Amino acid sequence: MSIANYLTALDAQRDQLALNLVTMGVQASESEKLNTLVPKVLQIPPGRPEVTLFCNGNDALTTYGESIYTFYIDGYRSIAGFADVYSHFCCAENAYSLYYNQPDFNWGAVIYTMCITPVRITPASRILLTYKSGTTDAGEMWLVRKSSQQISPAETARYIHEKLSGGEAISVPFGWLGSVGNYISVLHDCSGVSADEYYLAWKAVTDNTSPMIRTIKVLEVTT
């Protein structure tokens, strides 16, 4: 392997380390160098922390912009790329929440959103969404078992969506709750899911719900 190839592989490992740190609850960015990322491994909380898949804020697109993908009529895009095209989707106006809005998409658009960073799910796991919704309505959320292949982020998004389309995903009981203009936090049960690593995905529609998602986390609930 040439030096150039080694450097490319090293860059990929650095990016993956940054994503893994974020998954484990440690603030990190792919723009950081390895000599700053490696010591952050010691910041991983003991025991099993909650896993944050998305959190709004000024750094949302920097932190999660390439770890969440959408599928819409124009194909697959990271949310960083999606926000470049659809200016209200994740912007300062809505504190960088994920906003499935009618000004960008008109009425009735269907948008699939997929977290390409796998997370371990057990029957004790709960998926926490904090969001606004214009009304109460049925929703769809899925878990897709992690690919056994090492594939790129865009290929992972395609893999997830193809599993959804092929009926090979696990449905999570889910529905949007009308929140009367306020953010609400709702836990979604995973008790029927066997322990493994999964990708999380959901469908949003720009109808009366037009949800605005502020945070997405996976928690372990003990009874």
**Is there a single domain that holds both residue 80 and residue 129?**
yes
> pTM for this structure?
0.78
Domain membership of residue 38 as a residue range: 1-48
pLDDT tens over the chain, length 223 residues: 577 765 676 677 777 777 777 766 677 777 888 788 778 777 766 555 689 999 999 999 999 999 999 999 999 999 999 999 999 999 999 999 999 999 999 999 999 999 999 999 999 899 999 999 999 999 999 999 999 998 999 999 999 999 999 999 999 999 999 998 899 999 999 999 999 999 999 999 999 999 999 999 999 876 5
**Is there a single domain that holds both residue 71 and residue 35?**
no
CATH number of the domain bearing residue 209: 2.60.120
**Is there a single domain that holds both residue 24 and residue 60?**
no
**Is there a single domain that holds both residue 3 and residue 104?**
no
**Is there a single domain that holds both residue 120 and residue 59?**
yes
Please state the domain count of the chain: 2
**Is there a single domain that holds both residue 38 and residue 112?**
no
**Is there a single domain that holds both residue 90 and residue 134?**
yes
**Is there a single domain that holds both residue 74 and residue 99?**
yes
**Is there a single domain that holds both residue 159 and residue 69?**
yes
Complete DSSP assignment for 85-140: HSTTSSSGGGTT-EE--HHHH-TT-EEEEEE-S-EEE-TTEEEEEEEE-SS-EE-E
End-to-end Cα, the chain, rounded Å:
52
